[in-house]
Structure 1
Amino acid sequence: MSRSIDYGNLMHDAMRGLIRQVLNDVAERGLPGNHHFFITFDTSHPDAELADWLSDRYPGEMTVVMQHWYDNLEVGEEGFSVTLNFGDAPEPLYIPYDAIRTFVDPSVEFGLRFEQQESEEDDEDETELTQVHEHELEVSETHGKDAEIVSLDSFRK
């Protein structure tokens, strides 16, 4: 039996660690300068926690924005919780790191995309990591002045 180094999963673990480290810094010191985040996550992930009306409205994925107003940011080993404002209605969310599909900071044109792909050889999902840039984001809906839903269709294959 041959063995190989699983660079894909090692890279994903490292990138999720980067997200955790960035969020830890923000939890301790706040968002510096113009930094802000678009975070798309799988709303059907078994460990994701969000209001029923949000999961009903966004049954597959949702993009949230951490920028002007957020509260109760708590960063853990497996995910983070934050309260965001949706049309003047504060809602708590818990987002596991492995539910994150994209993490973008448009202020510095930095982004990560975790993409699920079906393998031809077997039925297991493989995840591909690619970098995205600010100009690929399209804002499609605004829920109040503090939270936005962003369409990421421009970089789907």
Structure 2
Amino acid sequence: MSRSIDYGNLMHDAMRSLIRQVLEDVADHGLPGAHHFFITFDTMHPDVEIADWLSDRFPEDMTVVMQHWFDDLQVSEDGFAVTLNFGDNPERMYIPFDAIRTFVDPSVEFGLRFETQEGDDDEDDLDEAPMHVDPDDEDAEPKDAEVVSLDSFRK
């Protein structure tokens, strides 16, 4: 009987714990300085809760921005809920941590990317930059967001 250490899942758990800690601090104290987040998540995850019009517009994944306007951030062990503004339309959403594909704080060039799990044939999809939707600008066209890989921080 062969047993091995699953470093991939252990690393993902640690990365999700880091995101949880950061969001808990933001919920308690607000965003410090120029910090802001681009969070890309799987809209098809069974526990994601977003408005129907958002899931229709973003049938696979979506990137939200937490910067100038967000409200009522609540963080739990498994995910977070937040109200974001989409063209003067506040929308409440719940995002489980295991639905997150990327978490980026461009103000300090920090980013996490969760690799696709086994059995997912679309492994190369994460190499593409996610779409960025500015929730404060209803007329803005989606534009590419920069994804920072952990490799860029290794010496």
Taking structure 1 as the reference length, the TM-score comes to: 0.80
CA contact (8 A) 1:44 1:60 kept: yes
State the SS of the aligned residue for 1:28. Answer: helix
Instruction: Return the match for 2:144 from 127, 151, 155.
Output: 151
CA distance in 2 between counterparts of 1:112 and 1:73 reads 20
Q: Which runs of 5+ in 2 are unaligned?
A: 149-155
Structure 1 stretches (4+) deviating beyond 3 angstroms? Answer: 136-155
Whichever residue aligns with residue 55 of structure 1, its letter is S
Residues 60-79 of structure 1 correspond to what in structure 2 (within 5 A)? 60-79=60-79
Pick closer, same or farther for the CA change 1:141–1:75 going to 2, 3 Å. closer
For residues 122-141 of structure 1, the aligned pairs below 5 Å read: 124-125=119-120, 141=133
The root-mean-square deviation of aligned C-alpha atoms, in Å, is 2.9
Q: In structure 1, what is the Cα distance between the partners aligned to 2:72 and 2:132?
A: 26
Match of 2:114, SS state, is strand
Question: What residue identity is the alignment partner of 1:38?
Answer: F
Q: Which amino acid aligns with 2:38?
A: F
| Cα deviation 1:16-75 (Å, max 9, x = unaligned) | 000000000000000000000000000010000000000000000000000000001000
1:110 aligns with 2:110: yes
Number of matched pairs: 143
Partner of 2:57: 57
Percent identity, please. 71
TM-score (norm: length of structure 2): 0.81
Please name the residue that 2:92 is paired with.
Answer: 92
8 Å contact kept, 1:40–1:61: yes
2:136 partner letter = G
Q: 1:88-147 CA distances to partner (integer Å, 9 max, x unpaired)?
A: 1000010000000000000000000112154xxxxx459x9xxx9xxx968655443399
SS of residue matched to 1:3: coil
Q: Which amino acid aligns with 1:107?
A: S
Q: Which has the higher strand share?
A: 1
Per the alignment, residue 18 of structure 2 pairs with 18
